[in-house]
Amino acid sequence: MRLWKRWCDRAAFGRDETIAARRSGRPWSQIGALALVAVVSAPAAQANPFETRLDNGMRVVVKEDRRAPSVVHMVWYDAGSMDEVAGTSGVAHVLEHMMFKGTDTVGPGEFNKIVAGVGGRDNAFTSYDYTAYFQQVPADQLGRMMTLEADRMHKLQLTDEAFAKEIEVVKEERRLRTEDSARALVHEELMASAFHAHPYQRPVIGWMTDLDRMTPEDARRWYREWYAPNNATLVVVGDVDHEAVFRQAASTYGQVPAAQLPRRPVVEEPPQRGVRRSVVRAPAELPYVAIAWPTPTLRDPAKDADVYALQVLAAVLDGYDGARLSRTLVRDKQVAQTAGAGYDGIARGPSLFYMDGAPAPGKTLAEVEAALIGELSRIQTEGVAEHELARVKTQAVASRVYQRDSLMGQAMEIGGLAAVGLSWKDEATLLEGIRKVSADDVKSVAQRYFSKDQMTVVVLEPLPVAAEMARRPSVKTRH
């Protein structure tokens, strides 16, 4: 699910990033990487990170990383779009925007200004499962960040005027990310089709029709109901002393009163009784297909072996440049322009296993779909090779080491696990889970979870851009 978390800014200084190889044609490659990164974590045996719980119920996790005088400070709320009800889709994300509009004592935009002034960066993101806020600042500024973040946990000023402007910003965000992106529309449709009952059926950013009708009171109610210390986790990673952070947390967040949280209905998806197919028509050149199957979510890290086997399956298909989908479908058979697979299994709600692809020149979408399923069938009958298994495990271990280079990456790991009911304490178990997967385990999950009747398939039928323009006579008068 992490693929669709919504970052709310563009990087101002992001121009010196390393370059990723683009030849593999792996649209889901990020999921593959994330799945491994999320799963693999076994630091050298030491007390780090450190955890405590404040009297008001707020969970606090601190990881000391003394390499540079820098710190990441994050607060994760256990409230995401899956906690929304029909008609107010997108309200979790709208509230996230409103959280920057000031409190009783801090003016609108003032928090941003303070962070910027000390040389930091800040932002927030909303997903199906949670909403999170972060600042990365020089380590000596941590106390100030905690004071400000604790303040807006219970003293937000949410005015009608600010809401009226910000809801338009959110609609522009939806236009940018979804309305004008053919493949984003496909993914939205895929979730809406795969889930008939579960709130994952609704997009995190909300349906435009719901955004059109949203009121300031919807946002206020969301804030009242979910923003409380007993529904939040504080994560601090960087050049800090954990005892000092615990004390600061008690004197800031510890002063915010706990609240009675709303009931969280557990929604079970009803059984699927046959393949579900739908079509999205939107301006594009290439057709495109996305497929999903219901698969398990990790609940007990010590026991849920299928989750680890499915993670390995996704990595064998699409976990590195020469993995099966790009090797077979893009390079050898040349049936696909791009081909990908992804599975996370780390979520509050139900999990899906995804595949997707676009046809190579001269090939059809039906051929791509058949070829994707064909790669699954091959594993169902022949299994995977030991060297593929070893390769995936090697990468998992290396990813774990590489992740330690980024304070933000480490904080995301800790917070992401907490947000789905797991813990950083599970990291070693999660890595062990991957290590224990055998070739037979992979073959077995491939056989058990990928029946045709369980598929949801969405295809993109491209509308030629030129033809679309011809159908819109109003255009010419405006230009």
Partner 1 sequence: MRAMTRTLLAACLALSASAALAGVDIQQWVASTGARVAFVETHALPIVDIQVDFAAGSAYAPAAKSGLAGLTASLLDAGTRQRDENALADRFADLGARFGAGAETDRASVTLRSLSNATERVAAVDLLAEVIQQPAYPQAVFERERARAIAGLKEAQTQPGYLVERAFGEAVYGDHPYGRATSEASLNALTRDDVLAFHRQHYTAAAAHVSIVGDLSRAEAEAIAVRLTEGLAKGEAPAALPVPALRDSTVLRVAHPAAQSHVLIGMPGLTRDDPDYYALVAGNYVLGGGGFVSRLMKEVREKRGYAYSVYSYFEPQRVAGPFRIGLQTRGQQADDAIAVVRDTLKQFIAEGPTQQELDAAKGNIVNGFGLRLDSNAKLLGYVGVIGFYGLPADWLEQYPRAVSELTVEQVRDAFQRRVLPAHLVTVIVGGDGDVTAPSAAPAR
Q: Give the nearer residue to partner 1 in terms of CB position, either 113 or 277.
A: 113
Backbone angles phi, psi at 50, to 5 degrees: -120, 140
Catalytic residue status for 217:
no
3-state helix, strand, coil in the chain (%, to 5): 50, 20, 35
Decide: 137 and 118 in contact? Cβ < 8 Å.
Answer: yes
Q: Give the nearer residue to partner 1 in terms of CB position, either 68 or 275.
A: 68
- Judged by CB under 8 A, which of 225, 327, 373, 377 binds partner 1? 327
Decide: 350 and 368 in contact? Cβ < 8 Å.
Answer: no
Contact status: 475 vs partner 1 (CB under 8 A): yes
Size of the site for partner 1 (CB under 8 A): 93
| Sign, Cα dihedral of 319, 320, 323, 327 | positive
- Judged by CB under 8 A, which of 46, 55, 165, 265 binds partner 1? 165
Contact status: 24 vs partner 1 (CB under 8 A): yes
In the complex, the smallest distance separating the C-beta of residue 93 from partner 1, rounded to whole angstroms, is 12
Contact status: 161 vs partner 1 (CB under 8 A): no
Which spans in 175-226 are helix H? 182-194, 208-213, 216-226
Q: Give the nearer residue to partner 1 in terms of CB position, either 144 or 198.
A: 144
Contact status: 268 vs partner 1 (CB under 8 A): no
- Judged by CB under 8 A, which of 265, 274, 381, 472 binds partner 1? 472
The residues in 92-111 that bind partner 1, with binding defined as CB under 8 A, are 100, 108-109
Report the alpha-carbon angle 233-237-243, nearest 5: 80
Contact status: 241 vs partner 1 (CB under 8 A): no
| Sign, Cα dihedral of 398, 401, 405, 409 | positive
Decide: 351 and 1 in contact? Cβ < 8 Å.
Answer: yes
Q: Give the nearer residue to partner 1 in terms of CB position, either 15 or 263.
A: 15
- For 39-119, list the strands marked E by DSSP: 50-53, 59-64, 70-77
Q: What letters, b where the CB count within 10 A reaches 16 and e where it falls short, cover 176-192?
A: eebeebbbbbbbbbbbb
- Judged by CB under 8 A, which of 251, 334, 364, 451 binds partner 1? 334
The residues in 52-71 that bind partner 1, with binding defined as CB under 8 A, are 67-70
Written as six digits, the tokens of 446 are 């491939």
Query: Which residues have a Cβ under 8 Å from the Cβ of 201 and sit 6 or more positions away?
Result: 191, 192, 194, 195
DSSP state of 169: H
- Judged by CB under 8 A, which of 53, 155, 175, 425 binds partner 1? 175
- Collapsing DSSP to helix, strand or coil, 72 comes out as strand
The residues in 348-407 that bind partner 1, with binding defined as CB under 8 A, are 358, 360-361, 387, 390-391, 394-395, 397-398, 401-402, 404-407
In the complex, the smallest distance separating the C-beta of residue 264 from partner 1, rounded to whole angstroms, is 27
Contact status: 457 vs partner 1 (CB under 8 A): no
Contact status: 275 vs partner 1 (CB under 8 A): no
Largest CA-CA distance found in the chain, in angstroms, rounded: 69
Contact status: 461 vs partner 1 (CB under 8 A): no
Q: Which region, judged by CB under 8 A, interacts with partner 1, from 56-64, 191-199, 416-424, 467-475?
A: 467-475
DSSP-assigned states of every residue in 383-436: ---HHHHHHHHHHHHHHHHHHTT-HHHHHHHHHHHHHTT--GGGHHHHHHHHHT
Decide: 418 and 252 in contact? Cβ < 8 Å.
Answer: no
Contact status: 22 vs partner 1 (CB under 8 A): yes
Contact status: 273 vs partner 1 (CB under 8 A): no
Q: Give the nearer residue to partner 1 in terms of CB position, either 122 or 151.
A: 122
Q: Which of 80, 111, 81 is nearest to 231 (CA)?
A: 80
Asked whether the bond before 49 is cis by omega within 30 degrees of 0, the reply is: yes
Which amino acid does the sequence have at 397? V
Contact status: 240 vs partner 1 (CB under 8 A): no
Q: Which region, judged by CB under 8 A, interacts with partner 1, from 151-159, 270-278, 293-301, 462-470?
A: 462-470
The residues in 194-233 that bind partner 1, with binding defined as CB under 8 A, are 212-213, 215
- Judged by CB under 8 A, which of 36, 92, 330, 446 binds partner 1? 330
Q: Which region, judged by CB under 8 A, interacts with partner 1, from 35-43, 149-157, 255-263, 460-468?
A: 460-468
- Judged by CB under 8 A, which of 51, 56, 64, 138 binds partner 1? 138
Q: Give the nearer residue to partner 1 in terms of CB position, either 23 or 263.
A: 23
Choosing from 17, 84, 96, 217, the catalytic residue is: 96
Tokens 């889930």, residue located: 195
The enclosing H or E element of 134 equals strand 131-138
**What is the distance between the alpha carbons of residues 135 and 242, in angstroms, rounded to a whole number?**
18
Contact status: 20 vs partner 1 (CB under 8 A): yes
Residues annotated as part of the active site: 96
